[in-house]
Chain A
Amino acid sequence: MQAFEYANPATLQEAVAMLGSSWGEADILAGGTDLISLMKDYIHTPKRVVNIKGLKELQGITKTATGLRIGAVVTFDEVAESPLIRSEYPSIVQAVLGVASPQIRNMGTVGGDLCQRNRCWYFRQGFGTLGKDKDGTSLPPIGENRYHAIFPKGDAYFVSASSLGPPLIALGAKVKIAGPSGSREIPVEELFVVPTSNKGREVSLAPNEILTEILIPSARGVRNATYEVRHKQALDWPLATASVALRMKGSTVASAKIVLGHVGPTPVIATEAEALLAGKALTPDLAAEAGKVAVNGAKPLSGNEYKVQLTRVAVKRALMEAMKARA
């Protein structure tokens, strides 16, 4: 790990001021479960590390007039234990419990989850965000890509690592971001971007911006669920996930949000499947049909065709799970 300066600011404003104007100058430290590994492997070599865990502005889970606010440094474990979240947002709890090690749930934060780097093994071995060899060849499509994207975009073959992204998008959540010139709010789907350079990032934050909180609209009357296909029960990454949020009108679906995780470089919104469900009563057959439609346009790589099938099943099962859940 390269030597660095450690900063422990007392206020959000101070923290923002300590960040650099370009990547590589400073890194934000939340739970550290990702950042420290990146630093140990010399993938990130920041000159300064800015700890945000102590910032009051970033803590706590609170009710708001329109829903719920989760501070960026709230841990997975706090989320999973929160009665406010458990009662209304099973899709979030299911996603969080999928991060299957208690150690990571104790340390990892919701902000860190959304901003974590991708887990492509070429990236993690030093071949850059997009996993390119010295000669510029993209390694994932010609190499081992069993865990990679079936909806690749451009040269981005990795999958978005965040388990929270899909349910938050399905629920219509926003994130609040603080920067040198104040704060802004964007929908969660706009946080995730497809990097175009081998040094690019997976989120739309500027190097001197901090994600401060997540704002989720009320989900009263919205049936929601996340289903995750995982190889192991113990600590493991999902192979494919689906998060769904269904606004019901009696026994029919008024409108649906379906978001796929771990299949593309950003969470993938399955608009065709969403449209299919609108105005219909949800049956197992319709759920299976939605799963099929959800993978239209998938472009699997040499070794991950199976993820297409897993995605179909994840959508079907998330929908069936949502119908079981309390609205």
Chain B
Amino acid sequence: MPNYSWPPMESRKQIGKRYRRVDGIEKATGRAKYNSDLNKPGMLFAAMLTSPYAHAKVRSIDTSQAEKMPGVTAVRVVAPAGTELQWVSQEIAFVSATSEEVARDAVRAIKVDYEVLPHVVREEDLSKVADRAKPAGEQVTGDPDKAFREAEVISEGMYGIPVLTHCCLEPHGQVVEWKGDQINYWPSTQNVTNIGPDLAKNLGVPATQVKVHMDHIGGGFGSKFPADRWGVECANLSKASGGRPVKLFLDRATELNIAGNRPSAFAKIRLAAKKDGTIIGWESSSWATGGMSGGGMPPIPYVFVNIPNRRMNHTAVMTNCGPLRAWRAPNHPQASFLTCSAIEDLAAKLGLDPMEVFAKNMQWVAEARRDSYLAQLKKAAEMSEWSKRWHRRGDSGPGPIKRGMGIGICTWGGLGHASNCRVTIHPDGSVIVELGSQDLGTGTRTVIAQVVAETLGLPLESIKVNLGDNSYPPSNPSGGSTTVGGVSSSSRIAAVNALEKLFEKVAPALGAQPDQLEAVDGKIQVKGNPSKNLLWGAACKKLGVQSISEMGTNDPRNPRGLNTQGVAGIQVADVSVDTETGVVTMNRMVAVQDCGLVINPRLAESQVYGACIMSICGALMEERIMDAKTGRVLNPDMEFYKLAGIGDIGEILVDLHITPENDKRGVIGLGEPPTVGGIAAIANAVANAIGVRVPTVPLTPNRVLAALQERRA
């Protein structure tokens, strides 16, 4: 049985190196082709007719004008007369034409008669949602009534976090060419291996007919797994247009309306505690929406899951809004915000340092992570100069600019997903690695190259990594921070297997047994006798005309110690608030985040930077704004759907908590956990700065000033 385990930390040559991403130059110069860049010969463009109403019934639909327009090749109705439309921008019909302009004009020529029905699109005031509220029942653990009776202090608060959208820079969409029994499919997807079968199922053809290719994706964040209506109809339009390729990428407004969102979460929370900050009881009543499916209860109390004596009520609110999709760490940022805000408010009420209160309550977190959190609290305090900068809530000195500090927390799984990899060594010494996986921009290609280079004792440049095609060995979708664990393990195993085969071929020439050989620094050599060696090229020549091609599989039920799950993270925000204008400025974010064995610290840190930036957006700016009367999203654009720019971000300090103990655990996914704690940390920092809780994020000037005014009153 070959030894697949990771080489010991101290002897690694490639793993752990801070390489820049292998496709960085290509992306920075614009040479990288995203599928939304594709321009195939003879390509047609599709456009969608979507609902202008949040709730309506299609009484009749007439496409005859559109069909007659010059340049239009096909029209397909997906919401025929009688269909009930449940949100603005819901798909009604698709048109393909020789140009995007003609397709859009044709869409406008389709006549629909609507019966407009009443809608509900806002959920922040539960008393106004009428019959759209669906209580989920009460959950009780222990004896909350007793805990609240016996509490030395009771702290309570109301907190809210609105619906966000994914805002992928590259919108959802695809080019599809359906010619005879061959479908060429170029989607923007997190799911290269399984999106083909999904499309095939929807089209009623065998999965073998769909060929998927995607080199790069401009963001997915959990929203790009299925083939979607627009993918299926794009294929149908292609078929109806004689097999010409058809392109359909959503415009920004449609993207923000229907291509997924992160559900909201609102909660009234009460904590029962002792004077020293130990929490002994939790009560929450929460509500949320993510569209017509309602919205589930975030996992609260978050991280502090063993707080005794809990009573929780949750209400899902069905709104006539585009449907939710997984959003980078589904429900965790909401849960962290709700929980950490309540704890910070308790600490403030007691006049205690929240670092101490968080530490004291670590008795309630899962035992396996407890020490990590305690160590990370210390580290984060050090990096943020907590002891120098923290002050009691509101005690931030004279002048209109107030500075404050706050804490947020995260946890996540991150076990490697099912992944297959093929490593091929050719007689000329070249090495190719193939996986039906995808690089979401996280650096997957680079990390795989590092693992294979390490295993084969070769420089990084010698390894060619091919992803993004469903003719490669299947790999699961990139969701749940499962990719790095999955692909690093499958490529490690495949590379070890391939190397074993090479050893067999080379051993006779070196007068040794295969198991006495090792691959180091571009040579195959005898262990303990390195002067007996063959250069990599010479060794591969021994293959004659036969390449070696070996598979490696990561099975999540038995990851062989190569990858695992369960991480902890602490974030600290340091903000300044202009109390005259309510404008919040980021001074610094500190993120201490473990992720087991780190294959490339630069890329891992880059994930954390991106996550912190997303948190800054969510804490200070981002919000889907719904109009009660018209039922529309008022800001389906990049103008009033606000995202941070470089000038809004401040300094971000990252520590990956790399220790021999964490390294021994193996690789753990990192994409999601660092997005979890930031909003909580920033909201807490603002409360600390200005002396009062701003209940709802994003912390806009409007909300900050309102909270300050309430405090004065």
Query: Contact flags (1/0) for B580-612 with A, using CB distance below 8 Å?
Result: 111100000000000000000000000000000
**B356 located at the interface, meaning its Cβ lies under 8 Å from any Cβ of chain A in the complex:** no
**Structural contact, B640 and A121, CB atoms closer than 8 A:** yes
A232-B621 in contact given A139-B629, A147-B640 (Cβ < 8 Å): yes
**Structural contact, A121 and B105, CB atoms closer than 8 A:** no
Chain A residues positioned under 8 Å from B658 (CB to CB): none
Contact pick for B642, options A1, A142, A232, A309, CB 8 Å: A232
What's the count of A-B pairs with C-beta under 8 Å?
A: 80
A143-B629 in contact given A229-B701, A306-B706, A313-B580 (Cβ < 8 Å): yes
**Structural contact, B639 and A231, CB atoms closer than 8 A:** no
**A2 located at the interface, meaning its Cβ lies under 8 Å from any Cβ of chain B in the complex:** yes
Q: Interface residue count for A (Cβ, 8 Å)?
A: 34
**Structural contact, A232 and B648, CB atoms closer than 8 A:** yes
A3-B101, A234-B646, A309-B582 known; 19 new pairs, CB 8 Å cut-off, are A1-B104, A2-B105, A42-B108, A121-B634, A121-B635, A142-B629, A143-B628, A143-B634, A146-B700, A229-B581, A231-B700, A232-B621, A232-B647, A233-B647, A234-B644, A234-B648, A235-B639, A306-B582, A306-B701
Chain A residues positioned under 8 Å from B101 (CB to CB): 1, 3
Q: How far is the CA of A115 from the CA of B625 in the complex (A)?
A: 28
- Interface centre among A42, A142, A234, A313, by most chain B C-beta atoms within 10 angstroms, is A234
Q: How far is the CA of A202 from the CA of B644 in the complex (A)?
A: 30
Interface residues of B in 626-668 (CB under 8 A from A): 627-630, 632, 634-635, 639-640, 642-648
Chain A residues positioned under 8 Å from B182 (CB to CB): none
Q: List 9 A-B contacts (CB under 8 A).
A: A2-B105, A100-B645, A122-B630, A127-B630, A133-B629, A139-B629, A231-B642, A304-B702, A306-B582
**B705 located at the interface, meaning its Cβ lies under 8 Å from any Cβ of chain A in the complex:** yes
Please give me the residue from chain B that is nearest to A2 by CB atom: B105
Chain B residues positioned under 8 Å from A121 (CB to CB): 634-635, 640
Q: How far is the CA of A143 from the CA of B121 in the complex (A)?
A: 13
Q: How far is the CA of A147 from the CA of B583 in the complex (A)?
A: 15
**Structural contact, A231 and B634, CB atoms closer than 8 A:** no
Query: Contact flags (1/0) for B611-627 with A, using CB distance below 8 Å?
Result: 00000000001000101
Q: How far is the CA of A8 from the CA of B41 in the complex (A)?
A: 31
Q: How far is the CA of A147 from the CA of B700 in the complex (A)?
A: 12
**A190 located at the interface, meaning its Cβ lies under 8 Å from any Cβ of chain B in the complex:** no
Please give me the residue from chain A that is nearest to B634 by CB atom: A121
**A303 located at the interface, meaning its Cβ lies under 8 Å from any Cβ of chain B in the complex:** yes
A229-B634 in contact given A143-B627, A235-B645, A309-B705 (Cβ < 8 Å): no
**Structural contact, B629 and A231, CB atoms closer than 8 A:** no
Please give me the residue from chain B that is nearest to A147 by CB atom: B640
CB distance from A228 to the nearest CB of B (A): 11
Chain B residues positioned under 8 Å from A309 (CB to CB): 580-582, 705
Chain A residues positioned under 8 Å from B645 (CB to CB): 100, 232-235
Q: How far is the CA of A189 from the CA of B705 in the complex (A)?
A: 32
A310-B581 in contact given A234-B646, A234-B648 (Cβ < 8 Å): yes
Q: How far is the CA of A64 from the CA of B264 in the complex (A)?
A: 58
Q: How far is the CA of A96 from the CA of B97 in the complex (A)?
A: 41
Chain B residues positioned under 8 Å from A233 (CB to CB): 645, 647-648
**Structural contact, B583 and A229, CB atoms closer than 8 A:** yes
**A176 located at the interface, meaning its Cβ lies under 8 Å from any Cβ of chain B in the complex:** no
Contact pick for A306, options B621, B644, B702, CB 8 Å: B702
CB distance from A116 to the nearest CB of B (A): 13
Please give me the residue from chain B that is nearest to A235 by CB atom: B645
Chain B residues positioned under 8 Å from A127 (CB to CB): 630
Query: Contact flags (1/0) for A288-308 with B, using CB distance below 8 Å?
Result: 000000000000000110100
Chain A residues positioned under 8 Å from B702 (CB to CB): 146, 303-304, 306
**A272 located at the interface, meaning its Cβ lies under 8 Å from any Cβ of chain B in the complex:** no
Interface residues of A in 118-171 (CB under 8 A from B): 119, 121-122, 125, 127, 133, 137, 139, 142-144, 146-147
Mostly helix, strand, loop or mixed at chain B's interface?
loop
Please give me the residue from chain A that is nearest to B635 by CB atom: A121
**A57 located at the interface, meaning its Cβ lies under 8 Å from any Cβ of chain B in the complex:** no
Chain A residues positioned under 8 Å from B582 (CB to CB): 306, 309-310
Chain A residues positioned under 8 Å from B580 (CB to CB): 309, 313
**Structural contact, A144 and B634, CB atoms closer than 8 A:** yes
Mostly helix, strand, loop or mixed at chain A's interface?
loop
Chain B residues positioned under 8 Å from A239 (CB to CB): 701
**A14 located at the interface, meaning its Cβ lies under 8 Å from any Cβ of chain B in the complex:** no
A231-B625 in contact given A42-B108, A139-B630 (Cβ < 8 Å): no
**Structural contact, A310 and B701, CB atoms closer than 8 A:** yes
Please give me the residue from chain B that is nearest to A314 by CB atom: B581
CB distance from B588 to the nearest CB of A (A): 16
Query: Contact flags (1/0) for A90-130 with B, using CB distance below 8 Å?
Result: 00000000001000000000000000000101100101000
**Structural contact, B632 and A313, CB atoms closer than 8 A:** no
**Structural contact, A306 and B705, CB atoms closer than 8 A:** yes
Q: How far is the CA of A164 from the CA of B105 in the complex (A)?
A: 36
Chain A residues positioned under 8 Å from B648 (CB to CB): 232-234
CB distance from B625 to the nearest CB of A (A): 6
Please give me the residue from chain A that is nearest to B400 by CB atom: A313
CB distance from A124 to the nearest CB of B (A): 8
CB distance from A171 to the nearest CB of B (A): 25
Chain A residues positioned under 8 Å from B643 (CB to CB): 234
CB distance from B398 to the nearest CB of A (A): 14
CB distance from A297 to the nearest CB of B (A): 20
Q: How far is the CA of A229 from the CA of B627 in the complex (A)?
A: 25
CB distance from A99 to the nearest CB of B (A): 13
Chain A residues positioned under 8 Å from B644 (CB to CB): 232, 234
The 10 closest A-B pairs by CB, nearest first: A234-B645, A233-B647, A121-B634, A306-B702, A306-B705, A313-B580, A233-B648, A143-B627, A229-B581, A232-B648
Q: How far is the CA of A2 from the CA of B108 in the complex (A)?
A: 10
Please give me the residue from chain A that is nearest to B637 by CB atom: A124
CB distance from A238 to the nearest CB of B (A): 11
Interface residues of B in 99-114 (CB under 8 A from A): 101, 104-105, 108
**Structural contact, A313 and B581, CB atoms closer than 8 A:** yes
CB distance from B299 to the nearest CB of A (A): 31
Contact pick for B647, options A143, A234, A306, CB 8 Å: A234
Chain A residues positioned under 8 Å from B105 (CB to CB): 2-3
CB distance from B622 to the nearest CB of A (A): 11
Interface residues of A in 1-54 (CB under 8 A from B): 1-3, 42
- Interface centre among A1, A121, A127, by most chain B C-beta atoms within 10 angstroms, is A121
Chain A residues positioned under 8 Å from B639 (CB to CB): 119, 235, 237
CB distance from B686 to the nearest CB of A (A): 14
**Structural contact, A125 and B642, CB atoms closer than 8 A:** no
Q: How far is the CA of A251 from the CA of B472 in the complex (A)?
A: 78
Chain B residues positioned under 8 Å from A139 (CB to CB): 627, 629-630
CB distance from B207 to the nearest CB of A (A): 38
CB distance from A96 to the nearest CB of B (A): 17
Chain A residues positioned under 8 Å from B583 (CB to CB): 229-231
Please give me the residue from chain B that is nearest to A236 by CB atom: B642
Chain B residues positioned under 8 Å from A133 (CB to CB): 629-630
CB distance from A132 to the nearest CB of B (A): 11
Q: How far is the CA of A255 from the CA of B564 in the complex (A)?
A: 73
CB distance from A46 to the nearest CB of B (A): 15
Q: How far is the CA of A89 from the CA of B346 in the complex (A)?
A: 52
CB distance from A233 to the nearest CB of B (A): 3
Q: How far is the CA of A2 from the CA of B106 in the complex (A)?
A: 11
Q: How far is the CA of A133 from the CA of B645 in the complex (A)?
A: 35
Q: How far is the CA of A127 from the CA of B630 in the complex (A)?
A: 10
Chain A residues positioned under 8 Å from B630 (CB to CB): 122, 125, 127, 133, 139, 143
Q: How far is the CA of A313 from the CA of B704 in the complex (A)?
A: 15
Interface residues of B in 540-585 (CB under 8 A from A): 580-583
Q: How far is the CA of A143 from the CA of B640 in the complex (A)?
A: 16
**Structural contact, A231 and B627, CB atoms closer than 8 A:** no
Interface residues of B in 693-707 (CB under 8 A from A): 700-702, 705-706
**Structural contact, A231 and B705, CB atoms closer than 8 A:** no
Chain B residues positioned under 8 Å from A147 (CB to CB): 640
Q: How far is the CA of A100 from the CA of B639 in the complex (A)?
A: 12
CB distance from B222 to the nearest CB of A (A): 25
